[in-house]
Amino acid sequence: MGLRRLRLLTYGLTSVLFVSASCRRMTVQPSLRHDQFHGANVLLVTIDTLRADRVGAYGNPNGLTPTLDRLAANGIRYTRAISHVPMTLPAHTSILTGLTPRKSGVRNNTSFRLDDRIPTVATFLKRAGYRTGAFVGAFVLDARFGLARDFDVYDDRLPHNDRTSFQFAERRGAEVVKAAGDWIEGPVNPRRSESQPASPSLRESRPWFAWVHLFDPHAPYDAPPEFRMGRSPYDAEVAYADAMVGTLLDRLRLAHQLDDTIIIVTADHGESLGEHGETTHGLFAYEATIHVPLIVSTPGARSEVVDAPVAHMDIAPTILDLVGTATPNHAGGSERQSPSDQSFEGQSLVQAPLPGRPLYFEALDAWLTRDWAPLKGVVQGGWKYIDLPEPELYDLSSDPAERRNLIGRSNREDALRRLLAQLDPSGAPSAPGSSTVGASPPAPPLDAEAAARLRALGYVGGAASPKTQTTPRTFTLSDDPKRLVALNEQFNSALTAFDDGRSAEALSTLTAVLQARPDFTSARTSLATVLLSQGRSRDAVQLLRDAPPEEQASPELLEKLGAALRDAGDLRAAAATFEQARRAGDRNLSLLQDLAVTYARLGRTAEARALFSDLTKQDPSVATVWYNLGLFELQSSRPDEAAQAFRRAVSLEPSYGDAWHALGAALVKTDAAGAIDAWRHAAPLLPHDYDLLFNLGMLSAQSDRPADAVPYLQRFIREAPRERYAQDIRLVQQTLKRLEGGAP
């Protein structure tokens, strides 16, 4: 196998060296060169919500991350890497585009979509002949948010979950790494035999780029039991995610897929875990959430530690520089008009980062979704400045936990404030409806299921109200997130309670939040959601109409008010309110679907059909749109058109139980075999739908294979609630006797 094989065999032995930082070479300039790994494979692993201080190579003594520690012991560890924003979608956008959120236009998880004209690292690698695959672990990185461009495969498939809370907004790391491994080892890249040397001349004709995203350390923390012993819930998830990275690397190593592969591992952001009063992430931008691990392991690498300021925006240009792929102009080059030629803001880490290099960061979700003060800041030379109504200044070298605010006590304050103004000359962050690269693309289309999946991950689902510089707003100390962190925690706990089925707790908590902050529109609409789930539509209508006058024109509030009016039976008022929300800029799919359904119930069939047609054109990849169109066609006595729509829904989401059930209903009069097949798909997905079970059993009993009905009928007798299904149970018993020859 030669020296390359020997290096791989010693891989595990060197892991013991990471514990002694003094044994490692500290530098500001890693031993990397342009085009050093021409045409090499690239494996980019992003671990969601991973604090740097949980990684052994970064000083943690608890043995949580042996895989990452081995990579660091055979690669380059960057000690001062930051995320530009502590939220999943914008952080990954920076990783893949080489841009900060100021340039990419993606500022939080719910309100933005990456402009289709902005290239990602996959764009450049695909042009260079690479296979490109992405495998993501949570709905927040769904293709609808814009990162799928130029990936041959973008695997964002999550199970569809009917009727219960949307805990299936994520999938475990084991599923993600299996999908990634299957693709990497696919037929285009056959395995080498043991006898073949891993030389560049024998590399497959098409190298691969794989992005693997593991969501597990993100709340809610629920690691497999074998990882929980003696660990906090968060630490258990970290250990599990590391083990899954190890599983993938072991598989690829055995297949000789790592012989010529650059491996880059980072986190999108960290987790507060109670520091500064924040339990999770997204509100603040302290080191707990923006300091991230960054490890680069290359073929033949030696152990190095780079103590220089680097950031997510540097990852894409570094990858392209190492493999010798053509890139756009770097920052400082000539500006181009087309967003497709957008220059990287980041720099390749082949070049030595300047020790005094300033790095921009922000946390704007609370501004976008709650109208709290926007948070922006800069790190330079070990100092950190946070621009808020109550500004903050920290000397990270002596105060890494950011406990001593030095505002008014250091001469660095004015310089950092001026530097931030230079990095962000607009002075105001862009919002939905504005963009730094041209006309902003529409906000990502969200239906009710998408909003619920985001809520299950702790995020407010739906587009933020548009904010522009033409609507000036003076923020005071009362708008500073530091003054509102307790309210933020209450709100998040209410979302969790609701998705866990604790509606009464969610109701009381959200009521308390609104008493403290009546202008908290997302809390008001969330409280209305709880009331509607309890059948209290009139109370929801009143709650929404009681909003402060300046909030009553909010598209988010109007959409929820329309739903409350519809549920209260006032269809005309509901339609008018939905139309008002649409005029106010609400582009969520849920609004258009609600309006179409309301038109249908009002007998405005042509308008309803036109809206449904627009929905399927706007985003044909959303299964619930096709499902609702199918229901509309079924209710319009067009079963053939309904069946076509339901088939589209289940082709997009094979685990969509309600769509399979409805497909059977559309086929039952014209294609009994097709109806039976659809209901067989639905039955395991809707295990407590006894009407479905009854219909499947009885229709199967009338088919040319009546024996197939027996297990369904027996289960119906066993499980169906007798107080509700007593008459049906007697009929099923008679049918079973006939099938078994006990009755004529």
Q: What's the confidence (pLDDT) of residue 615?
A: 86
pLDDT at 367 over 50: yes
DSSP string, 230-299: TS-HHHHHHHHHHHHHHHHHHHHHHTT-STTEEEEEEES----TTGGG-SSSSS---HHHHB--EEEE-T
Q: What's the confidence (pLDDT) of residue 10?
A: 29
Residues 219-239 have a mean pLDDT of: 96
pLDDT at 242 over 80: yes
- Quick one: pLDDT band at residue 22, thresholds 50, 70, 90? very low
DSSP 98: S
Phi-psi category of residue 374: left, alpha or beta, with phi > 0 → left and psi -120 to 50 → alpha = beta
Least confident of 144-148, 271-275, 436-440, 464-468: 436-440
pLDDT at 301 over 90: no
Least confident of 32-36, 141-145, 332-336, 622-626: 332-336
Name which residue leads in pLDDT, 698 or 170: 698
| % of the chain beyond a pLDDT of 70 | 83
Residues 6+ apart with CB under 8 A from 550: 519
Q: What's the confidence (pLDDT) of residue 192?
A: 36
- Quick one: pLDDT band at residue 717, thresholds 50, 70, 90? very high
Name which residue leads in pLDDT, 574 or 145: 574
Q: What's the confidence (pLDDT) of residue 194?
A: 36
- Quick one: pLDDT band at residue 164, thresholds 50, 70, 90? very low
pLDDT digits (tens, 9 = 90+) for 589-629: 788 889 999 999 999 999 999 999 888 888 788 888 899 89
Q: What's the confidence (pLDDT) of residue 380?
A: 96
pLDDT digits (tens, 9 = 90+) for 685-704: 999 999 999 999 999 999 99
* Tokens 């269809």 belong to residue: 571
Strands 359-363 vs 375-380: parallel, antiparallel or unpaired: antiparallel
Structure tokens at 419: 């530097």
Q: What's the confidence (pLDDT) of residue 4?
A: 29
Q: Which domains does the chain have, with CATH numbers?
A: 2-191+206-293+304-363 (3.40.720.10), 446-587 (1.25.40.10)
Name which residue leads in pLDDT, 653 or 51: 51
- Nearest CA among 338, 164, 347, 178 for reference residue 247: 178
Q: What's the confidence (pLDDT) of residue 187?
A: 66
Least confident of 274-278, 329-333, 613-617, 732-736: 329-333
Give all strands (DSSP E) within 160-251, no chain letters: 208-214
Strands 76-82 vs 392-395: parallel, antiparallel or unpaired: unpaired
Is residue 189 within 8 Å of residue 210, measured between CB atoms? no
Q: What's the confidence (pLDDT) of residue 455?
A: 60
| % of the chain beyond a pLDDT of 90 | 69
Residues 6+ apart with CB under 8 A from 378: 358, 359, 360, 361, 384, 385, 416, 419, 420, 423
pLDDT at 369 over 90: no
pLDDT at 482 over 80: yes
Q: What's the confidence (pLDDT) of residue 472?
A: 63
- Quick one: pLDDT band at residue 503, thresholds 50, 70, 90? very high
Q: What's the confidence (pLDDT) of residue 447?
A: 59
Q: What's the confidence (pLDDT) of residue 302?
A: 84
Q: What is the C-alpha to C-alpha distance for residues 536 and 541, in angstroms, rounded to an integer? A: 9
Structure tokens at 548: 């402060």
Q: What's the confidence (pLDDT) of residue 449?
A: 62
pLDDT digits (tens, 9 = 90+) for 245-289: 999 999 999 999 999 999 999 999 999 999 999 999 999 999 999
Least confident of 124-133, 326-335, 516-525: 326-335
pLDDT at 682 over 50: yes
Q: What's the confidence (pLDDT) of residue 233?
A: 98
pLDDT digits (tens, 9 = 90+) for 641-677: 999 999 999 998 888 999 999 999 999 999 999 999 9
Max mean pLDDT among 126-135, 167-176, 325-334, 436-445 falls in: 126-135
DSSP string, 691-720: HHHHHHHHHHHTSS-GGGGHHHHHHHHHHS
